[in-house]
Amino acid sequence: MRRVEVVTLSPRGGIEETSCLLPSLPAFEEPFSAFARGTIFASDRGMVSVEDVWPGMVLRIADGGTARVLWRGSTVIVPRGEGQDPAMTRLTRVAAESMGLGKPFQDLVLGPRARVVVRRPAVRLLTGRDAALVPAADLVDGVSLVEVTPPSPVEVYHLAFARHETLLANGIEVESYHPGPLHALSLRGDHLALFQSCFPQHPDLLSFGDPALPRLRRHDLDLFDAV
């Protein structure tokens, strides 16, 4: 089991905070583990660290517009913790300016379930789109993106909006939370109901809408890049 914290915007505009234990399953861990504490986003009032982002705040999104945060989830990565997926003990550090000028503008530490926006010819071949979302952990190369096992517990977060958005985390394009295809969650019965209860701001999982971008894995891109 994993303890998580949920902060959401109530129908009356107030803030509601809850804490609960959830099964240590990928579907339950993904909504809480994208951005390490200290990740910086741009709001309509200036730069803000993810731990200081609260539902109701307005963040700038990658297309230059803005979107209101409805939900923030968080948990703690515990290195060497027993009974957990080893992937949930590792973070990904993106070196400053390793993806271009100001991308990121300082080192960025992403959580185990973070996805970043990738633009490569293979993306268009596979999806017909110019960009796709790929797990940051898939892109580790030991130089620009490095796998990190923290020496002590680290808080990690995720954010959700009325719909799926792409944001700038330290200047790098990343995704907000979206559950993806419902069949891919592999949840049924009580587990599915428990999962849905984590998102009181959405009447059901379908209300997250369509994904902003397709999701791919690194091996998909490498296969087509080699063609």
How far, CA to CA in Å, does 75 sit from each of 7, 87, 129, 144, 153?
12, 14, 33, 26, 10
Scanning the structure block, which residue is given the tokens 């796998």?
147
Query: DSSP alpha helices (H): ranges in 76-170?
Result: 121-127
Distance CA(23)–CA(10), nearest Å, equals 25
Residue 105: give its domain's CATH number: 2.170.16.10
Judge whether 23 and 29 are in contact, CB under 8 Å: no
Average pLDDT taken over every residue of the chain: 94
- Each residue's pLDDT tens digit, 70-85: 999 999 999 877 777 8
Distances, alpha carbon 95 to alpha carbons 53, 92, 168, 171, 213, in Å: 23, 10, 15, 12, 24
Q: How many domains are there within the chain?
A: 1
Q: Hey, what are 166's tokens?
A: 């792409």
Dist CA 102 CA 118 (whole Å): 16
Place of tokens 């690194």: 218
Contact 170, 105 (CB under 8 A): yes
The answer on pLDDT for 177 being more than 80 is: yes
> In terms of residue numbers, what domain contains 22?
2-223
Residue 9 above 90 pLDDT? no
pLDDT band at residue 226 under the 50/70/90 scheme: low
Q: What is the pTM of this model?
A: 0.95
pLDDT digits (tens, 9 = 90+) for 118-172: 999 999 999 999 999 999 999 999 999 999 999 999 999 999 999 999 999 999 9
* Alpha helices (H) along 10-117: 26-29
Whether 113 shows a pLDDT value over 90: the answer reads: yes
Is the pLDDT at 30 greater than 70, yes or no? yes
